[in-house]
Structure 1
Amino acid sequence: MDTGEWITVGMDRRFGVERLRAHFTAHSYERHAHETYAVGLTEAGSQSFHCRGAVHRTRPGSIITFNPTELHDGHATGAEGFLYRMLYIEPQTVVSVLDDAGIRLPWDMALPATLSEDPALARLIADAARAFAEPGATLARSETLAAMVVGLARRQAGAPAPRTGHPGDAALARARDHLHAHLGDDITAEDLADVAGLSRFHLSRSFARRYGAAPATYLRWIRLERAKRLLAAGEPAAQVAAATGFTDQAHLTRRFKGAYGVTPARFQRAARAA
């Protein structure tokens, strides 16, 4: 694990979510609180903190949750330090997500477990944290945020399962066709929900059942396939990135290599030589 200290932060005001990822060895947080829900994961090492009248100690995979205005501090448990991620979510965002999913809870939903071990929920938190760190991931942010908030509500606050039903194929096909027709645009969950006539949460779950992937993943697939065709036709990589909805050439390169094992430049050279 990295022995230095560093921190990265970001804010997405559209969703009311702030992200943080950091590694600390010597830094010690003073006692403080947030106006938001704070949800995170320890990725490596261990941190210790005081909250709710007790001392808590994390380990890799531990889930940390603080309710709004809940006082806490924090520091490394040992000399090796700790690596962790946090998402700070506006209460109104939580209310909006749960309302969209058809879950009715008091507006001041209390998360009872300051520290917990739940691998399934940890994966949802990690997915959301990665989406909010990924450039140009509006649709993925909406989907992963909803899955995480609903997961928290169900697994920690005792909320009932959302009622998603089984929409007709025509509604889902409209959403799929919209993705194909606008793959170069910054498509939002609200766009797709309006096209399909479904709630955002309902659409995401039903789309995944019908097509094998949630809309954000499906969109990435078809963007990459379109990029492959444009590259093979000789289009410059920077223009291909812009035409297929990637934020820049570096973003396209990272995703392209992750999907196909080669960079766009190498793929294009091979296509020209064929």
Structure 2
Amino acid sequence: MSIRQADEWVKLVADSATGLEALRARFVQHAYDRHAHETYAIGMTESGSQSYRCRGGNYSTRPGALMLFNPAEVHDGRPTDAGGFTYRMLYLPVALLRDLGGEGFGAPGAEPLFYQPLAQDEVAARVIAEAFDSLAEPHSRLRRDEALLGVLGILLPRYAGLAPKRAPPAAPGLRRARDLLEASLLEDIGIAALAQEAGISRFHLARGFRRLYGLSPSEYRRQQRLREARRRIVAGASLAEAALASGFTDQAHFTRQFKAAYGVTPGRWRQAAMPPG
């Protein structure tokens, strides 16, 4: 959902499966009253500067800054100057962070607390922006799960003091997870199912899979689907039929992914691969 008014605008997206919500907005005059969220609120400043009060202090952001608010933490927000600011926020339910965080960091069921409301961290800011994009675009469940794990994998050690647990040797389990991906081409499978199959946490599944196979689970799934689409095109299926039968429900998304992988559109590839006649 998008709301636009003059030079100010708001874009909201949500993931019904996890309860995760996200916001991207630009404000020039709007100021937030003091308020608190029942969720964790994790954000990054894209441009400009926002000022806010929190924990008895006054803070101002600049591009690449993180805003880290714990549940029920009172704060406000306003443009620092006439230039306004653009920012992105992720709103993570407590149960989601408890579930994911306790699985790979800290004690089971732990509710981490960020120990500062502002940090300058361009790397973490970029990962938060990518997580927003994974919600806003028609990516797979795997892509969204990986993006969220990427955010927490950076923020929890750096700003909540939770070091990742050591992962047990997992190559046999990771092979089982890969086999599950191979056997479920059309399913919108998530990291949780792969981790259960591998017998390790979601954090360790995501990291171990890339280490062993050179691709994240979502990248492996994308390559798997593109190979199937190519096979079907050669067998005579139309481009739309090949895309749908390979798990691509959006034709434009299929075309972009195909060209990114092979350098040509599916139509051009078909012309080159199919014999004349």
Under a length normalisation based on structure 2, what TM-score does the superposition of the two structures give? 0.87
Which residue in 2 is equivalent to 1:26? 29
In 2, Cα distance between equivalents of 1:83 and 1:268: 43
For residue 18 of structure 1, report the CA deviation from its aligned partner. Answer: 0.4
The one of 209, 232, 249 aligned to 1:230: 232
Alignment of structure 1 residues 104-253 onto 2, 5 Å: 104=107, 107-168=110-171, 170-253=172-255
The one of 55, 60, 69 aligned to 1:66: 69
Q: For residues 147 and 223 of structure 1, do their structure 2 counterparts lie closer, same or farther at Cα, with a shift above 3 Å needed?
A: same
For residue 186 of structure 1, report the CA deviation from its aligned partner. Answer: 0.6
Partner amino acid, structure 1, of 2:156: A
Q: What CA deviation, in whole Å up to 9, does each residue of 1:57-113 have, x standing for no partner?
A: 211111111111112222222333222111000111111002221522784422122
In 2, Cα distance between equivalents of 1:66 and 1:102: 19
| Structure 2 unaligned regions, length at least 5 | 1-5
Percent of pairs with identical residues? 46
SS for the counterpart of 1:68 is coil
Q: Are residues 1:10 and 2:13 paired? A: yes
Is contact 1:164-1:205 (8 Å) kept? no
Partner amino acid, structure 2, of 1:218: Y
Q: What CA deviation, in whole Å up to 9, does each residue of 1:199-223 have, x standing for no partner?
A: 2222222111100122112212222
Is contact 1:42-1:61 (8 Å) kept? yes
Under a length normalisation based on structure 1, what TM-score does the superposition of the two structures give? 0.88
Is contact 2:20-2:90 (8 Å) kept? yes
Alignment of structure 1 residues 71-90 onto 2, 5 Å: 71-90=74-93
Partner amino acid, structure 1, of 2:192: E
In 1, Cα distance between equivalents of 2:264 and 2:257: 10
In 2, Cα distance between equivalents of 1:65 and 1:8: 20
Q: What root-mean-square deviation, in Å, do the aligned CA atoms of Structure 1 and Structure 2 show?
A: 2.3
Q: For residues 165 and 266 of structure 1, do their structure 2 counterparts lie closer, same or farther at Cα, with a shift above 3 Å needed?
A: same
Of 222-231 and 26-35, deviating more is 222-231
| Structure 1 unaligned regions, length at least 5 | none
Q: Are residues 1:35 and 2:43 paired? A: no
Alignment of structure 1 residues 84-103 onto 2, 5 Å: 84-103=87-106
Q: For residues 105 and 198 of structure 1, do their structure 2 counterparts lie closer, same or farther at Cα, with a shift above 3 Å needed?
A: closer
For residue 273 of structure 1, report the CA deviation from its aligned partner. Answer: 6.8
Is contact 2:101-2:111 (8 Å) kept? no
For residue 198 of structure 1, report the CA deviation from its aligned partner. Answer: 2.4
In 2, Cα distance between equivalents of 1:57 and 1:221: 43
Q: For residues 29 and 201 of structure 1, do their structure 2 counterparts lie closer, same or farther at Cα, with a shift above 3 Å needed?
A: same
Partner amino acid, structure 2, of 1:183: L
In 2, Cα distance between equivalents of 1:175 and 1:24: 44
In 1, Cα distance between equivalents of 2:188 and 2:55: 42
Q: For residues 85 and 237 of structure 1, do their structure 2 counterparts lie closer, same or farther at Cα, with a shift above 3 Å needed?
A: farther
The number of residues matched between the two structures is: 271
In 2, Cα distance between equivalents of 1:62 and 1:258: 31
In 2, Cα distance between equivalents of 1:207 and 1:69: 36
In 1, Cα distance between equivalents of 2:233 and 2:67: 44
Q: What CA deviation, in whole Å up to 9, does each residue of 1:154-185 have, x standing for no partner?
A: 111111222212213x3222211221222222
Q: For residues 212 and 116 of structure 1, do their structure 2 counterparts lie closer, same or farther at Cα, with a shift above 3 Å needed?
A: same
Of 205-214 and 232-241, deviating more is 232-241
